[in-house]
A and B are shown apart, each in its own frame.
Chain A
Amino acid sequence: DAGVIQSPRHEVTEMGQEVTLRCKPISGHNSLFWYRQTMMRGLELLIYFNNNVPIDDSGMPEDRFSAKMPNASFSTLKIQPSEPRDSAVYFCASSYLAGPSFGPGTRLTVT
């Protein structure tokens, strides 16, 4: 049974460029989360979807960040324009009536 799939695993981009991170949740899971992990701030929830609908985006840092979930098997997190302070590991996680299962993460470096 495949876990949460994220792509790319690593992304290096220049400041000002658009970055799109992708996630395929575990089949049958109806909740999807995007988290960001940094040394300074630890794991922070960015946005939560339930049944493909964004329920809570209060953790999204600013308007440069946006997330979509067009169907139950796919979600994207977009940063436009990217800034060096966005450098972090971004995790997608999904769940169904239990603690979330995390993907392997995307390590983003913005230079």
Chain B
Amino acid sequence: TQLLEQSPQFLSIQEGENLTVYCNSSSVFSSLQWYRQEPGEGPVLLVTVVTGGEVKKLKRLTFQFGDARKDSSLHITAAQPGDTGLYLCAGEKDSSYKLIFGSGTRLLVRP
């Protein structure tokens, strides 16, 4: 059972375009994390959101946690080739150690 659904699965865009990646669930999470993974490397934590409705910005990346803490989105403004990678969301239930990872969104930004 996939508790966290990410969409789209694949995204190929031109440099300079904007994009949004979604992470949806029917479950409530105490926190949600976003990671980026590049080929041959492990996932790297980008941000953690914990409060319903919370918005966090990391340069051109904007992360939002849904009001009900069941979903999240990642918006990238003016995408660059360096943004290429696999974006993973991961939900933490009941403030436990256990992270449930989404299936990922594979982003390709063409120069």
Contacts and interface: CB of A to CB of B under 8 A. Distances in A.
Given A98-B48, A99-B33, A42 B42 contact: no
A100 B88 contact: no
Interface in B90-106: 90, 97-99, 101-104
A43 B88 contact: yes
Interface residues of A, number: 21
Interface string B59-82: 000000000000000000000000
A42 B101 contact: yes
A48 B98 contact: yes
Contacts of A31: 97
Interface of A: 4, 31, 33, 42-45, 48, 50, 55-56, 91, 93, 98-105
Given A48-B97, A105-B41, 12 more contacts: A42-B101, A43-B43, A55-B97, A56-B98, A93-B42, A99-B33, A99-B99, A100-B99, A101-B45, A102-B42, A104-B40, A105-B42
Interface of B: 33, 40-45, 48, 88, 90, 97-99, 101-104
